[in-house]
Structures are given as structure tokens and as C-alpha cells.
Structure 1
Amino acid sequence: MSVLQRVVKPTTHKGKKVLLKKEPQIIEGTKRAIFFKGRKTSEKVRNLLKDLYLIKKPDAQMLNKKNDITIFENPQPVEAFCKKHDSAMFLMGSHSKKRPDNLVVGRTFNYSILDMIELYVENYDGLQEFANDKITVGTKPCLIFNGTLWEQSDELKQLKSIFIDFFHREEVEAVRLQGLEHSISFNATPDGKICLRSYKVLLKKSGVRTPRVELEEIGPRIDFTLRRTKLPSPDLMKDACKKPKELKVGKKKNISTDALGTTHGRIHIGKQEINKIQTRKLKGLKKTMQEKKAAKRKALVESNDGVEKRQRAD
């Protein structure tokens, strides 16, 4: 027996705006994330959630209550959280005897779990352990993925995609040098560790126009190890990455680009009758009376010759 779902229509202008904002947009904004705790959470994981929440702000929301959730067995509570708070990403911290210092990061598509990866927090140094100036809230970080291991396994490829979506902010067409204030480095080691390091970019005087760049570690410093993973199917990932028709660039006719990036265009025009083009009438270009009479005599002679030729032919 099928149950019909009641469709709630907005009764106010504000309610209509809220529902329209939750609908799929042609140009999506920054992905929001929710942070919440499981049934039990260690102090290390709680501090880690707070630090990542501070980096993700203001596109994040922290839920303070504990939740009895086993996300890999029953993801429906997490999907309900994401739908309630209109968030596309989630970060869950938990702790148990079987899986201590556990962290689950994942994404949703159409309010259903798209993918998620479970990580073991092996080592952690928080923001408070680095006594230096921090970056401004809302700064767009520069993400660096070191090593070739990120492209050699499906789990690391998916984790790299999740990290990019998690720390990504608004789209920008150009970046000025002074805008590079924060850098986050991800390093995948052969022994299976994933090292996250956060740096503040300092521009020092160098005596030339280009400044000398120094990196100052500001935390957090985290070492992860992969545990369980839930990867999406190729068809589901294709639907999640599908672009709307309005953003697809159509092929333009008679336009090509060479190897150097120069755009060439071809224009098709009809036959030009130069003799009939109206030009500026200048007094010096006008025909004299003698030239006009000579042209009339020439036209008359040509017409008479034509008549004689026709008569001979007849």
C-alpha cells in the first residue's frame, strides 16, 4: 500500500523564498556542513570537531546533542539531519572500544547519502597548541595534495574529492597574491597515513617585486588512517556531477582556437558591388562637361555598332 505524501505549499512570501532557496540552483553556492557527535565521543575527537568547525565557518553548523547513530548500518538519521539543516556535507565524531577516535566525513545528494569515509584519528594537535596568530574566519584556503597516491586508489580519489568539497568556498576567477593567506596540505604516505597540515602564508620583503613566501604552521595537525568506506556507484556519481543545460557551453560555428589559445573566426559575406556603393560626393571628383559629352558619344557609338552587328546577322 502506497502512502501519499502531503505537499505543503507556502502561505507567506518569506516561506516561499525559503522553499525556493532549498530547491536546486543553476549556480550552487558553498556547500554547508553539519558537525555532530555519536553515542560516545573522546576529548580528542571533540576538540577536532571544534577546530574543523572554526575553519569551515560560517558555512557550518555544530549540533551539541549526542546521537545514538550507527551511520554505516542506518544512515537515515544523518539524512534527516542534512535535510533539516539544508546541508550537503556532514562530519560525525564517535568513540568506541572497537573503533576508538573515529571520524566519518561524507556527502549527500538529493538528501541521500552519496559517499562517506571513516577515518581513525591517530595523532592530533589542536589550534590551541600553536601559539601564533590565526587566519580570519571565512578565508578561502589553498588546498595542496602531495604525492601520486591520491590517484592510485578509489578510496583516496574519493577522499580527495570529499576534502575539496569540504574546504571549498565561493568560485573566484582571479586571485591576488595578498589573498593567499591560508594553505592546507594533505600528504598520503606509503604506510597508509593521511597527514593534514594547516599553514598561514607570510609574505616577506625580498628586495625585488616578488615577495619571499614563508609558511607558518597554525594547526590543526592531524594524522588519519583509513577505515571503512562507502563509495557511490558510477551512475549515481554521474547524476551528482551533472551540470544543468544553462551552464553548458554550446559549440559556435566558424570559430576555432589554435594551439596558442588565439581565437580565429570566419565571416561569410555576399558579393560586394563596389561600383554601386554610395561615396562622398566631392567637387574635385565630379566629371567635367567635356567628359560627360565624350561618355555620351562613346555610349552612342557602342549602341550603333550593336545595331549594325544584329542587322548583319539577320
Structure 2
Amino acid sequence: MSIQRVVKPSTRKGKRVLEAREPATLEGPKQTLLFYGRKSSDVIRHGLKDLYSLKKPDAKLLSRKNDITLFENANPIEELCRKHEASLFIAGSHSKKRPNNLIIGRMYNYNLLDMVELGLDSFKSLSEFVGPKITVGTKPCLIFNGPAWDQVEDLKHLKSIFVDLFHRENVENIRLQGLEHALCFTAISDNKILLRSYKVLLKKSGCKTPRVELKEMGPSVDLMFRRSKLASEDLMKQACKKPRILKVRKRKNVSRDGLGTLHGRIHVGKQNIPSLQTRKMKGLKKTAEEKRAEKKQSKRPLTVQNDTNKPVASKKRRVE
């Protein structure tokens, strides 16, 4: 059994660096490392550059080639991701057996979690599309078309990888003008996926809601699913475990309906209905005449009437 060495910082800067590497309750955008394999083609070079443009500034593209065979030995990529502090990686390579090959993978605690190998069947670069591009750091809207994303196990896992790859900061609300970029993933069959990138244009419609148009801005890629190396159920469960702070605790007598409206149930004791203070409405207030009449009624002396038919008992003085 190997004992892990505990690194203690000797300077303030080293302490800040180690604190930044510690697990965070709310994670920010994940860093992605893009690099080339033993050999690469023009399609792979342009494809990695376009993916780097979509992922900036949370990405790093290495210019040198790396002699790494991921499915045979994953130790070099683990060391590379540890060096650049990246939790996602995209490797591009080209060979006779697997032309225009793209491998997308994830790391957990700087150890390989899972990866998927895709082939670029057809590719159209960003530079081939004429028109304005998106600004750097824009949060894209991800659209998954086709029932295969929820029916095929490999595509379910690939969908999770795509969401992690293009996910940025966690936001609760977003304004309409903030939707500038849309990424569309269409599953034609079990092993073919179409990736299209659109710029969202808001046009005048004559009313409050604008007319939305999508203009393709690239890249346009047809992907072929080749092979995958998935994580075990225990490792995936450990990687997806949420901190106790983020777990939503169930509140008694509080529930939400399908539209998100909050409903609460209140338990009260027995109430005295006549003595309850209700809302005072202007129409139910007494007029000045009614108030004066009640005041006169309260000041009037009380009169006692005796029944004359009944004999009145005479009081006799006692003589001692």
C-alpha cells in the first residue's frame, strides 16, 4: 500500500496555489486540453483550432505532437492533464486504420474517467462561413435532436461528455440578448452525429417578442461513433457525488407543482370566529350618523317599569 505524501506550502504564493487546486463546492468552467497525436491531417488541425475557438478562454491548445496511444496506455495523458490542470482533453490524430480521428475524454482526480473516439466524416471550417462570429466566452445553448440520445447507452454517455465540454458558469437567469450561440447535435443513427453551430439573430417583429433567426457560422462536422472506454458504475457514482451542502433538504409541508409554484400547508388550532380581526373595508365602515345614534343610545338613562297588577310587599320596621 502506497502512502501519499502530503505537500505543505512554504510560501504564501504556494499556499494560494494549493488552495486553488482543492475541490470546490461550486466548480467553475472546466479547463480543456487540446493536443495532436503522432500524425495529424489538415482536417484534424482545422478541427482542433475551431473547437479551441468555441471553448476559449477555458482551453489550451498544444502545438507539438505527442506520441500517446490513449486506448493502450493512459498514463501519459494523466500526467499531461495534471501538468496543465485540465479535467477534459481532446486528442486529434490521423492514421490509415482510423483517419481523422478525434478522442474526447474526462478526468477525475487527474485519473482517466472515460473517453469516446469519434471520426470526422465531413468537415467545414469556421473560416469557410461568411458572416459575424460570436464573442469569446459566450455561453452556448445546447440542443440535442433525436430519440437516440435517450435510448442508446453510448450516446447517453456522449451527451454527458458534450454537456461537460461546452458547459460554462452556472447561471440561474439569462436575458434574451444573452442567447447568441446555439450548438445543435443531431443523432441520425446509432453511430452518426451531426454537429452544427449557429449564431442567434434577434429581428424586429412588431411586438414585444423578437423574431428569432439562426444563421450557420461553423464549424459543420459529421461525426462517426467508433469506440469508447467508459467508467465503471462505482467510479462514475463517486465522480458524480454532490457535497452535502448542495443537497436540497426536504422541507415539511412545503411542495412545488409542475410549474414550479411553491405551495405551503399551515396547521392552526381552533379559532374563535367572531373575535377574528378581518380586513377593514371602506364600504363596511359606519357613517357619522350611525356613530352619533349609537352614542346617544349609550347615554340614555335606563327606566325600570313595575307591573301594577302585582302587589308590592310593604316593608315594616322592626320594633325591638
Normalising by structure 1, report the TM-score. Answer: 0.82
Give the direction of change, closer, same or farther, for the CA distance of 1:100–1:259 in structure 2 (3 Å limit). closer
SS in 1 for 2:67: coil
CA shift, 1:267, in A, is 5.1
Give the direction of change, closer, same or farther, for the CA distance of 1:258–1:188 in structure 2 (3 Å limit). closer
Which residue does the alignment assign to 2:106? 107
Residues 38, 68 of structure 1: 8 Å contact kept: yes
Give the helix-richer structure, 1 or 2: 1
- Structure 2 stretches lacking a partner, 5+ long: 276-320
The count of corresponding residues between Structure 1 and Structure 2 is 276
Which residue does the alignment assign to 1:193? 192
Distance 1:262 1:156 in 2: 35
CA shift, 1:3, in A, is 5.4
CA shift, 1:7, in A, is 3.0
CA shift, 1:257, in A, is 4.0
Question: For each residue in 1:1-60, what CA deviation from the matched residue of structure 2 results, as whole angstroms up to 9, or x when unmatched?
Answer: x55554331111111111111111111111110001101111110110000001100000
Which residue does the alignment assign to 2:45? 46
- Structure 1 stretches lacking a partner, 5+ long: 276-314
Distance 2:190 2:109 in 1: 36
Which residue does the alignment assign to 2:34? 35
CA RMSD of aligned residues (A): 2.3
Question: For each residue in 1:131-156, what CA deviation from the matched residue of structure 2 results, as whole angstroms up to 9, or x when unmatched?
Answer: 11100000000000001011111110
Give the direction of change, closer, same or farther, for the CA distance of 1:251–1:138 in structure 2 (3 Å limit). same
Distance 1:119 1:226 in 2: 5
CA shift, 1:271, in A, is 10
Distance 1:154 1:47 in 2: 30
| 1:181 and 2:183 aligned | no
Residues 34, 90 of structure 1: 8 Å contact kept: yes
Map 1:215-254 to 2 at 5 A: 215-254=214-253
Distance 2:188 2:71 in 1: 26
CA shift, 1:86, in A, is 1.2
- Bigger CA radius of gyration: 2
Question: For each residue in 1:110-134, what CA deviation from the matched residue of structure 2 results, as whole angstroms up to 9, or x when unmatched?
Answer: 1111110000111000011011110
Paired letter, 1:138:
G
Distance 1:258 1:58 in 2: 39
Residues 254, 267 of structure 1: 8 Å contact kept: no
Distance 2:268 2:183 in 1: 52
Residues 104, 118 of structure 1: 8 Å contact kept: yes
Distance 1:216 1:271 in 2: 64
Which residue does the alignment assign to 1:214? 213
Give the direction of change, closer, same or farther, for the CA distance of 1:128–1:71 in structure 2 (3 Å limit). same
Distance 1:169 1:257 in 2: 28
Distance 1:64 1:257 in 2: 52
Residues 152, 190 of structure 2: 8 Å contact kept: no
Identity %: 58
CA shift, 1:256, in A, is 3.7
SS in 1 for 2:120: strand
Give the direction of change, closer, same or farther, for the CA distance of 1:35–1:258 in structure 2 (3 Å limit). closer
Normalising by structure 2, report the TM-score. Answer: 0.81
SS in 2 for 1:26: coil
Which residue does the alignment assign to 1:205? 204
Paired letter, 1:266:
I
Residues 105, 161 of structure 2: 8 Å contact kept: yes
